Amino acid sequence: MLAFADRIGWHFQWQDESLVDKFYSDTDNHFGEGSSSPANAEEAGRFLWERTSDGIPIDLAMWNRSVKAFTRSYGTPKWRAIALASMVLFAFAYFTTKRGDSFPSSDLINTKRASYQSSVQFNPSLELLNGTDVIWQIPDSPKAALFIAHGCGVRAANFWDNYPGCPNCIGLPEERIFVLRSLERKFAVLTISSLDRCWSFDEIKNVKWIIKWWIKTNKLGTIPLVAMGASSGGYFVSALAAEMRFHSIAIMISEGTFASMGVLKDYPPTLFVHMPKDQVTMLRIQKNMRVLRQNGVAVSEIRCMEFPLSPDLLSDRIPRLNKTFSIKLYDVFREKGFVNQNGYLKNDGRQIQWKEALIERDMISENYELLKHIDEELNLAFALHELTSFQAHEILFWFESHMNPSMGS
């Protein structure tokens, strides 16, 4: 069983060591300290997973620490084996049938190699409505409509490649890939720019009008409506969902805003996509997940972990950035000590002087057109606060799993 656990790569890591004793205490209180056998081995596994959703932040990286709590209580080798087997099997069933929660960093290492290529071609429409940019694309026979709210400093144009109708479109890597994956899955995609650098709750009325106009104009009223917001857009979408009917929503790198909503009647199923390295946001998300559950709202989470840079990461993710440049940039990062011996960034991409290092070597100019694109991938690798397309499949699956036709928009 241990070999099976190692092979599938499911390991737990406590994000806050101070919570370990709390977990041990909760375990003893639940099963009885020093008990030689659990009343029900399956219950042991279920108890562990309940801890992850009740505010004890556990991530997938170290299996042994979670085993310790159970082997301490289950004194005999026989019951230890049963408890461990139960934990693994329950985890497997839980992941494959109920959650889409956390994915180990080893999975991300594989996922990051996915190319920016797609069978879908960008061919969006653009309108200026109520003083803001509105850009969208509708695939043949769409099965759902997706509104995406950007983060601070990002615009609707960042989700789309440059084309004659949108000279300001720059196609940031994660934004564009998320849109492409959505279009591949037959989601009609709508992006709207905030009036200021970040979203304001005062814009809810305007955005509601634009979404309804878009749905009516393009005859999308018979398909489900969903939304995803990142950072500032996550706060905005969480508030918008209290004013407008969505079949489900996804809130990325944000805990959302729920404190002022009161009773969350008919609030849509909510998926939190976050980076546990930001522990403050993670703990707030755990609190909001409990509040939503208490109000009968379906909730889940996806935890996005850091991953090492590789020589071809940037050329794999960014159009117009060739492999030769990507390899040279990686070499500079190693020479300057920006990454450790395993390729992990030592600091957030926003904090290290990588641009200066490349300019110093005459690799780029100060106005190099792909600076923002590289910045985004570095931030994503460090995994503190960045929009990600790595989990696009799981996010879209969440939407697809909550397309009850009885819910109107």
Q: Residues of CATH 3.40.50.1820 domain(s) within the chain?
A: 125-305+388-400
Q: pLDDT of 239-272, one tens digit each?
A: 999 999 999 999 999 999 987 776 677 899 999 9
Q: Is the four-CA dihedral 81, 64, 18, 287 of positive or negative sign?
A: negative
pLDDT of residue 114: 55
Work out the pLDDT band at 349, boundaries 50, 70, 90.
Answer: confident
Q: Are strands 132-137 and 125-129 parallel, antiparallel or unpaired?
A: antiparallel
What are the φ/ψ torsions at residue 72 (nearest 5 degrees)? -65, -35
Please give the residue that has the higher pLDDT: either 264 or 145.
145
pLDDT of residue 376: 97
pLDDT mean over 337-352: 95
Contact (CB, 8 A) for 230 and 153 = no
pLDDT of residue 116: 66
Residue 92 in tokens: 């497997």
Q: Are strands 187-192 and 248-252 parallel, antiparallel or unpaired?
A: unpaired
Instruction: Using the predicted structure, report yes or no on whether residue 29 has a pLDDT greater than 50.
Output: no
pLDDT of residue 91: 44
Query: H/E element holding 30?
Result: helix 18-31
Least confident range of 45-59, 67-81, 134-148, 324-338: 45-59
Q: CA dist 65 to 14, 35, 384, Å?
A: 8, 19, 24
Topology of domain 125-305+388-400, CATH: Rossmann fold (3.40.50)
pLDDT of residue 143: 98
pLDDT of residue 404: 74
Long-range contacts of 215-222 (CB under 8 A, 24+ apart): 215/145, 215/409, 218/136, 218/138, 218/188, 220/138, 220/142, 220/145, 220/188, 221/409
Q: How far apart, in whole angstroms, are the C-alpha atoms of residue 221 and residue 320?
A: 38
DSSP annotation of 40 reads -
**Burial class (CB within 10 angstroms; exposed 0-12, middle 13-18, buried 19+) of 287:** middle
Q: At what angle do helices 41-53 and 18-31 cross, to 10 degrees?
A: 140
CA 77 to chain CA centroid, nearest Å:
39
**In 264-391, which ranges are continuous DSSP H helix?**
279-294, 313-317, 323-335, 354-360, 371-382
pLDDT mean over 358-375: 95
The mean of the pLDDT values for the chain is: 79
pLDDT of residue 264: 75
Q: Shortest CA distance to 159 belongs to which of 145, 146, 172?
A: 172
**In 170-231, which ranges are continuous DSSP H helix?**
173-184, 204-217
Work out the pLDDT band at 63, boundaries 50, 70, 90.
Answer: very low
pLDDT mean over 35-44: 36
